[in-house]
Structure 1
Amino acid sequence: MADLASQQPGTDGRAKNYHFHHQAPQADTCSPARYLNQTQTLFEVLEQAIAGLPFICVDFSIADMAIYTSLRLHKLLHVSLGV
């Protein structure tokens, strides 16, 4: 299972997911699906981890600011936040 540390930039498939959906030619169908699935899984893990909490670390912290950069890009990453 992924942990919250994997939400940091460069440690998961978010950048590759963006690349395959916005920059790469569409010849390859396996890679975009793989990285979209990985990105969706990371968002689901985060959602489960913070369920019922107002912030990631109970009080507002730099962790909330770091995670926000990924959450605000959910539409570009083709991920629904379920809101």
Structure 2
Amino acid sequence: MSKFMPKSASKRKPLSTKHARKGYYKGKGATKEGTFRGKAGRFVLDQERMLDIVAPDLTGFKLKPYIAKTVPKWAPENDRNRA
């Protein structure tokens, strides 16, 4: 880190393995979808490793994907019990 950078600004920098605690590994939890090959180190995608998302057919589905802000937080029958 730069000696001219204030402490508050250094907290907002991206976290790397050099500035984290013991045991921190930046790539943990990610899937490897390819490999580096060749002299230039090009990244080659492997089709067998690619993420495949399987979603059900939602034609004729009546529910909306999002909840409006006007919807009350508690159900009406639970409101009377809470008071």
Normalised-by-shorter TM-score class: under 0.3
TM-score (norm. length: structure 1): 0.24
Greater share of strand: 2
Which has the higher relative contact order, 1 or 2, with Cα contacts under 8 A spaced 6 or more apart? 1
| Structure number with bigger Rg | 2
Greater share of helix: 1
TM-score (norm. length: structure 2): 0.24
